[in-house]
Structure 1
Amino acid sequence: MFSLFGFVQWVEAQSVNCAELIHSVEQEGHRREFIGPVSLVNSHWLYSVALYELDGSYAVIAVIKQGFIGRKYVFCDISKSRWTAFRSGLNDLGTTFGERFQQYIMECRCDCS
Structure 2
Amino acid sequence: MWISTVHPRPFLSSFVPNAANHSGEMFAAPHPAVRASVGPVAVGKFKASYMKQLQLLLIVLLMGCASGNAQEYSCQEIFEFVTENYDSRDNVSCIGSSMLVKANYYKVDGVGFVVGYFKSNDYDFTGEPYIFCGVSSTAWSNFKIYGISSWGKAFHTYIFDWKCDCY
- Same-fold status (TM-score > 0.5): yes
1:71 matched to 2:125: no
Show the counterpart of 2:110.
56
**1:7, distance to aligned residue in structure 2 (A):** 2.9
Q: Which of 32, 44, 49 is the equivalent residue of 2:89?
A: 32
Aligned residues, how many? Answer: 105
**1:57, distance to aligned residue in structure 2 (A):** 1.2
**1:31, distance to aligned residue in structure 2 (A):** 4.2
Distance, in Å, in 2 between the alignment partners of 1:23 and 1:35 is 20
TM-score by length of 2: 0.56
- Change in Cα spacing, 1:31 to 1:65, as seen in structure 2 (3 Å) is farther
TM-score by length of 1: 0.79
Unaligned runs of 5+ in 1: none
**1:23, distance to aligned residue in structure 2 (A):** 0.4
Unaligned runs of 5+ in 2: 1-6, 17-69
Q: Which of 97, 101, 123 is the equivalent residue of 1:47?
A: 101
Q: Which of 118, 128, 137 is the equivalent residue of 1:80?
A: 137
1:20 matched to 2:77: yes
Deviations 1:41-97 (A, max 9, x none): 2111101100000111111011111133521111111111111111112xx8x8412
| Higher fraction of helix | 2
Identity %: 27
Structure with the larger RCO, 1 or 2 (CA within 8 Å, 6+ apart): 1
**Structure with greater Cα Rg:** 2
